[in-house]
A and B are shown apart, each in its own frame.
Chain A
Amino acid sequence: MVRRIWWLTIVSLLAIWSLFPSSHVGAAASGKLEIFSWWTAGGEAEGLKGMFTAYQKAYPSVEIVNATVAGGAGTNAKAVLATRLTGGDPPDSFQVHAGLEVQKYDPPKYLEPLSGLFKSEGWEKVFPSGLLDLLRYQGNYWSVPVNIHRANVMWISKKVFSSNYLTPAKTFDEFFTLADTLKAKGIVPFVLGDKEGWEAGHAFEAVLIGTLGANGYRGLWTGKTAWTDAKVTQALNTFKRMLTYTNSDHAALTWDGAGQYLIDGKGAMEIMGDWEDGWFQSKNFTDYGWASPPGNAGVFDALSDSFAMPKAARNRANALNWLKVSGSKAGQEAFNPKKGSICARTDCNQMLFNAYLQSSAKDWAKDALVPSVIHGAAAYESWATKYKDAMALFVTSGNVASTQAALQAACKDAGVCK
């Protein structure tokens, strides 16, 4: 009996406690800034933290709320963002890929146009024109780019290459010769980890670039190159052949799980974006090298993380200041070395970056720039999703004809192809 009363009391107290709102929600309204992203751990989170510090140096009285949602390569976050934007409770600023991905948030209706800000901050002189082209949608800029990642990098295990006296392949023919040699030795030539469903599409971008060249690849997303082109068929066949040289457990591994093959010296090459550099560092692995995938020399397949600002943001002044910091030299220098990417600005201090990033920055300045589709730059997300799904299926089916048809259909659905 006594125990029952005791439980009842505890429970009622808890119930009453819950009726009162938690933490200081009612704090000074002017002093808040809510940043929304899916950078929740690792180098990304540290980079973001770095930028927060830079912001707080300039605006010490503002409380930064770091609203993050992890999972599904951003799908969970996108779900939350969609409900918040339509529900009238948007964050002050949120992470979005630079490029046509911004279309999914209906910029004219929900986002703040930033062309004025770009002019007043002089960004049009500091960001490369290739990047500015990516950012423009319906005649306006809608987000501020903080970094540049390169998607078409071939990471190689130095140990495997040197002990077999091999050099990275420049053409696909060389690639297959290399692969045969390695396969005979029991090493996985081409490592892949496609559990998340997007990695195959990511690698295929490099194959498309290598087969069609920079202009041909660009044309795929603007309608100038037909998806029914024979070169696309050739690319699909090349990729199909590449897939015969990959690890048998690729479906169980994410890209970093697959990267373990390189660390262990059991795999030779992986096509992945340059966040893999940051990952190798976190694993204390330094015996890796990098090269352009076959046929990709002189082409930089770019993606960029940027920050946008909803029209209905509650703390407008703070949000605008945040955008200014993200686009500033100090902010980008705080963010990028930790994140493992290079500055979007062309005037960052290169000494802050490691060997890979310095070489990447040099490439960024001189290479032909093409937009990545898997990472939101080249096409509307609805199209990108269809592309991703078609390639994910291709890995198992190997059916060139139906995949090419699906890719063509996706282009038609997006209204770009006839």
Chain B
Amino acid sequence: MSETVRAQRASPAATRLRRRRAITADRLIAVLLIAPSAAAIAVFVYGFIGFTVFASFTKWDNLSPDFTWVGWKNYAALFNTVRFRIDLGNTVTFTLLFLAICLSVGFILAVLLDRGIRGEAFFRSIYLFPLALSFIVTGVVWRWLLNPGSVQLGSTGVNLLLDRIGLGMLKTGWYTDPRIGIKAVVIAAVWQMSGYVMAMYLAGLRGIPEELREAARVDGANDLQTYRSIIVPLLHPITLGAIIILGHISLKIFDLVVAMTGPGPGFSSDVPAFFMFDTTFRGNNFAQGAGIAVILLLMVAVLIVPYLVYSLRTETQR
């Protein structure tokens, strides 16, 4: 290329013009690149959601769809159903307990592992690997572990273990006790997911500059105070992210309940997702199943949408 041409090409004005044109063309390509995903989600998520919402207002209760409009009848019937009311209560209980315990356990493990000790990788792998299992496997194994045994045949599972190590007074009926029910499932779920929370917090802790901790130490704060006033607040974004991921898992929980407890005595471990599956494919009541799905979606939306709006707003501020 000749000197003059290159010089011309490199002139500020020319560069700006070329760059602007390139950016506009690139902007178009960007939109095109995101389009297939957007289209897929539009159909496979929003299209289906629309269909489900529509179905929930119809009379569809057989294999051949019957789209006669019945208004709010299905929803009224749902809230009149004892099983559904129990399910809603179970979901709330499960979500609150699961979030609280999982976050705490994960945080504690992360703090313990953050000391830079030898064998960290070893312990970390042990706490992490329940994540590798499917909920079905977890459910099967914990069904055995939390089976209380019986007065006649003796204890089994965890109860048996408690007996053997002398802590027999801690025995309970676990999921056979209607007052406990879904709380037993929380234990299995925490076992599976706490490793993930631990990994998140560990990463977060590592991301906190040493200077901050130094400064606190110099100022005379002990460990507990350092954690409370500096570290935990800095970990808020992680806590929030974990709440979202764990929250939506717990609202949709299905495989674990199916494999571990089934609906439980008096439906004490039943969840809406299970009821939805049961009523749709066993009871053939597609419209009612769709209604439950819509309610589930609304519950998830109540949790997620404020978070999404908030996080986007804080980002645009950055």
Contact = CB atoms under 8 A, between A and B. Distances in A.
Contacts of A386: 283
Given A78-B282, A392-B263, 15 more contacts: A75-B278, A109-B63, A188-B152, A195-B261, A247-B151, A250-B176, A251-B265, A381-B282, A385-B282, A386-B283, A393-B82, A393-B83, A395-B265, A395-B266, A397-B266
Contacts of B282: 75, 78, 381, 385
7 contacts: A79-B281, A188-B152, A248-B176, A251-B175, A266-B153, A393-B82, A406-B82
Interface in A69-128: 71-72, 75, 78-79, 82, 85-86, 103-106, 109-110
Contacts of B147: 249, 252-253
B258 A72 contact: yes
Interface of A: 71-72, 75, 78-79, 82, 85-86, 103-106, 109-110, 186-188, 194-197, 247-253, 260-261, 264, 266-267, 380-382, 385-386, 389, 392-393, 395-397, 406
Contacts of A248: 150-152, 173, 176
Interface in B54-104: 61-64, 82-83
Contact of A249 (B82, B149, B278, B280): B149
Among all A-B residue pairs, the 9 with the closest Cβ atoms:
A396-B266, A79-B281, A251-B265, A251-B176, A385-B283, A249-B150, A106-B63, A104-B284, A252-B176
B197 to A, nearest CB: 29
A387 to B, nearest CB: 11
B268 A396 contact: yes
B281 A75 contact: yes
Interface residues of B, number: 37
Nearest to B83: A389
A43 B174 CA distance: 32
A266 B153 CA distance: 7
Nearest to A253: B147
Interface string B154-169: 0000000000000000
Given A79-B281, A104-B63, A382-B283, A267 B152 contact: yes
A104 B283 CA distance: 8
A389 B82 CA distance: 10
A86 B63 contact: yes
B52 interface: no
A79 B63 CA distance: 11
A406 B82 CA distance: 10
Contacts of B151: 247-248
B63 A110 contact: yes
B254 to A, nearest CB: 11
B286 to A, nearest CB: 9
B291 interface: no
Contacts of A75: 277-278, 281-282
A254 B264 CA distance: 11
Nearest to A76: B281
Interface string B36-67: 00000000000000000000000001111000
A409 to B, nearest CB: 10
Contacts of B83: 389, 393
Contacts of A392: 263, 266-267
A43 B94 CA distance: 38
A75 B284 CA distance: 11
B178 interface: yes
Contacts of B280: 79
A389 B263 CA distance: 10
Contacts of B143: 252
A345 B173 CA distance: 47
A374 to B, nearest CB: 12
Contacts of B285: 382
Residue in A194, A196, A197, A251 with the greatest tally of chain B CB atoms within 10 Å: A251
A251 B64 contact: no
A350 to B, nearest CB: 36
A280 B309 CA distance: 60
Nearest to A73: B282
B63 A85 contact: yes
Contacts of B61: 382
Contact of A187 (B82, B152, B281): B152
Contacts of A266: 152-153
B164 to A, nearest CB: 19
Nearest to A80: B281
B247 interface: no
B148 interface: yes
